Amino acid sequence: MSGTVFSQLDKSLREHLATLVHLASTGDDETAADLARSEMPRVVAAVKALLDEHTPDEHGRCRTCRTRWWSRRLPAPCRAYLTTQLCLTTFDDDPTDTRTHLHRVS
């Protein structure tokens, strides 16, 4: 029962994110602007909450992911933190295009 609920939650979350990406990339400028104003803060809040949860401690380890038996070999910071950071700071498509969008004055 709970598995079904969780998989439904996961599915709707992923569909929501896919919709955001789709609208951002295919929508007209007005749609994209509306989307940025209404959804960006929520997405940023979600990412910040995730990062807060996985912030490395003074030893560079994640309190959330640390477990008794693998804490000593756990790479620091944890995978969730690293992956989030990489996704947000690495431009894997076209960096020129991203900069153009960021700096474009409309």
Residues that bind Zn ion in the complex, under the rule CB under 5 A: 54, 62, 64-65, 78, 80
Residue (of 74, 20, 67) closest to 47 by Cα position: 20
Find the shortest distance in angstroms from Cβ 65 to Zn ion: 3
SS3 56: strand
Find the shortest distance in angstroms from Cβ 94 to Zn ion: 30
Closer residue to Zn ion, CB minimum distance, 26 or 70: 70
Give me the helices (H) in 1-106, please.
2-26, 29-53, 79-89, 95-103
Find the shortest distance in angstroms from Cβ 81 to Zn ion: 6
Helices 29-53 & 79-89, crossing angle to 10 degrees?
Answer: 150
